[in-house]
Structure 1
Amino acid sequence: MPDHPTVDEWLPPHQQHLLYSFAHADTLIENVGSVLLDYVAATPLGLDNRVQEGREDVIVASIAPVPQSVPRQAADVINQLRSALEHALSAEVEHLMGRQLESAEEQAIEMPVPKSDSGLSDWFRHKRRRSLPVLHVDGVLGQRIAALQPPFGTAEDQIHPLRVLAEHSNLSKHRKPAEYALRLGRVIPDYMVPGLEITGEYPADRPLRIGDVLASVPAGTRVPLDIWPTVAIRRPHTREWIVLTHELRALESWVRTIALPTLIAGTSNVDPIPPHLDISKGYPDYSDALSKAQTMPAAERLGLRLAGVGLREQLPAIFTQVLPAISYQTVEHYVANLSDAAAVEVLERYMRVRHGRGESHAAEYLRRLLR
């Protein structure tokens, strides 16, 4: 086989259901991200100024509630990813055994996430799995399961994707909804001034609260600030706050590109299952669906959308600065009709031309775009 087997080469027919499972998870991640982009764009933080003891503080005066679809759809993503692991393992056991499993055997199939080497050994020795040699410690799937386990008892154990996925899904399925909250991402001043202090009274281990100080300057000083809030999820086992979209992106990527290929093909050195497919439509067969699937995951598409929004605001100023004879309205009309990807491409190509061939060639590139 080549160094990187294609999906057709390593994903067997009994595992083709995973294409649709990841498409569903991808749609859920996109839904979460879209709601969050709109939420943040609507400026969820109300700010106020407070002068005391010779300083002027920027404080949180109000916080818009996070839409309740966000935690619920994020939990759906996490549970879909955990289910994809379990479904793939079950299908692989039945395929390797070459027979339909009995009810008791089906109940014995699970992706273990123990907390120690002894816990993993106990899982392998459990009587429920005696009739399934592929799940024994020296069985083909037993070895692959062991390869996916966290490094028990180390700092890396707590941040390993399998551990994080299991802790999140156990919490949301069995105990309570996860903790989600608005937190402070960044505070960026337009320029530095003497005495400027950022995030004065905001501790990193909790959500934002009304009255928190985000920045402080000597009284009478003026400096524009860009304040970027972010929605975070709290990991149940470490109590650490992680940007929600980053958490979903990392877990989806690990399950799709590492865990599932390892379980099925014995290696992650393969072309991953494409994540994006519109499964609200029907497809004649798997081959047709695979041919229409796309490789850019939701997190990247959302990043492109965010970049496009920002660039459509910035590009008119760039155009008119480089081409002062062109009206601002002409540039605005052109930019408004660019897709997110096209807006990013315009800026990237402009910067490449400017860096490689100089200002005059960069200006001519922009001028051609407006013809």
Structure 2
Amino acid sequence: MLHTNHAKHRMPVVTAVRLAAMYEDDRMLRSIRDLAPRPEEPLSVGEVIAQTPIGTKVPVTLFPTVGINRPGTDRWPVLIQGLEEIAHWVRTQAVPRLITGTEPPEPGLPMRYEISVGHEDERQAMSAGSTTSAGERHKKALAAASARGDLAEMISMIDGSPSEPQIARWLAQLNHEEVLERMSPLRMAFDYDPEVERHNFEVLKGCRDAALRFGDSDGPHEK
């Protein structure tokens, strides 16, 4: 991204909706990277994004996003990525150079640090700050929210599982990292594979048992 004064003071900043990717639901992908890249340009009103024969219904999954025009170009990178690039540049280059007048020192400034409590040593508090960006935290939060719903449904289908509301309560008290750790061992099966099925069953049994233990320690609930 071109971080110039001209770009910074441009009014208004131009943003538009883009369609980053799409695929037919009956064509399961091994990775989102398998999708053919779409043009990095905004959608126009009335634009045709797909065609099917008359009367034919084809379920598709769309990945809309918001793009921001890169100054002086026809490019429209994803807005959140552009903002993250700016935040990284300000943190690692602009602020350190303005303060020190030299090359940015190491270690660099953290992304954030805890300000909800007071600190006796502000420098030490900053040095212990997080290096995880807001964009990364947002992606993790979205992934965890999706995983909570999927896990609750899958665990509830196993014999001996507690009620889905109890499973949801167990998942709700886990942080995002813990939820994703529970989800990560599950393997994707593109065709019937007994080994994968057995593996996933054992993983979900472990989750079921953890939810049962949580229910026992959390007091009586509706079963």
Q: Does the pair score TM above 0.5?
A: yes
Paired residue for 1:232, among 64, 67, 77?
Answer: 67
Structure 2 match to 1:271: 107
Paired residue for 2:137, among 301, 311, 323?
Answer: 301
Structure 2 match to 1:222: 57
CA offset at residue 301 of structure 1? 0.7
- Are 1:165 and 2:3 an aligned pair? yes
- Are 1:249 and 2:90 an aligned pair? no
Letter in 2 for 1:313: G
Percent identity reads 29
Q: Say which one has the larger Rg.
A: 1
Q: Report the count of equivalent residues.
A: 192
**Does the CA contact (< 8 Å) of 1:205 and 1:241 recur in 2?**
yes
| 1:8-157 equivalences in 2 (<5 Å) | none
Structure 2 match to 1:112: none
CA offset at residue 329 of structure 1? 3.7
CA offset at residue 359 of structure 1? 4.5
Paired residue for 2:176, among 297, 320, 340?
Answer: 340
Letter in 1 for 2:21: R
Structure 2 match to 1:186: 21
Paired residue for 1:358, among 199, 205, 218?
Answer: 199
- Name the SS of the counterpart of 1:304 in structure 2: helix
- Higher relative contact order (Cα pairs below 8 Å, separated by 6+ residues): 1
**Does the CA contact (< 8 Å) of 1:183 and 1:208 recur in 2?**
yes
Q: For structure 2, which runs of at least 5 residues remain unmatched after alignment?
A: 28-37, 188-194, 214-223
**Does the CA contact (< 8 Å) of 1:189 and 1:225 recur in 2?**
yes
The structure with the greater share of residues assigned to strand is 1
Structure 2 match to 1:90: none
Letter in 1 for 2:65: T
Letter in 2 for 1:271: P
Return the TM-score normalized by structure 2: 0.69
Paired residue for 1:369, among 210, 213, 222?
Answer: 210
Task: Please give the root-mean-square deviation of Cα atoms over the aligned residues, in Å.
Answer: 3.4
Q: Distance in 2 between matches of 1:359 and 1:239?
A: 46
Q: Distance in 2 between matches of 1:172 and 1:305?
A: 29
- Name the SS of the counterpart of 2:18 in structure 1: strand
CA offset at residue 369 of structure 1? 1.7
CA offset at residue 165 of structure 1? 1.3
**Does the CA contact (< 8 Å) of 2:110 and 2:127 recur in 1?**
no
- Name the SS of the counterpart of 1:232 in structure 2: strand
Structure 2 match to 1:59: none
CA offset at residue 241 of structure 1? 0.3
Structure 1 match to 2:35: none
Structure 1 match to 2:164: 328
Q: Distance in 2 between matches of 1:264 and 1:361?
A: 58
Q: For structure 1, which runs of at least 5 residues remain unmatched after alignment?
A: 1-160, 193-202
Q: Distance in 2 between matches of 1:204 and 1:285?
A: 50
Q: Distance in 2 between matches of 1:228 and 1:179?
A: 20
- Name the SS of the counterpart of 1:367 in structure 2: helix
Q: Distance in 1 between matches of 2:102 and 2:180?
A: 37
- Name the SS of the counterpart of 1:305 in structure 2: helix
The structure with the greater share of residues assigned to helix is 1
**Does the CA contact (< 8 Å) of 1:171 and 1:177 recur in 2?**
no
Q: Distance in 1 between matches of 2:39 and 2:200?
A: 44
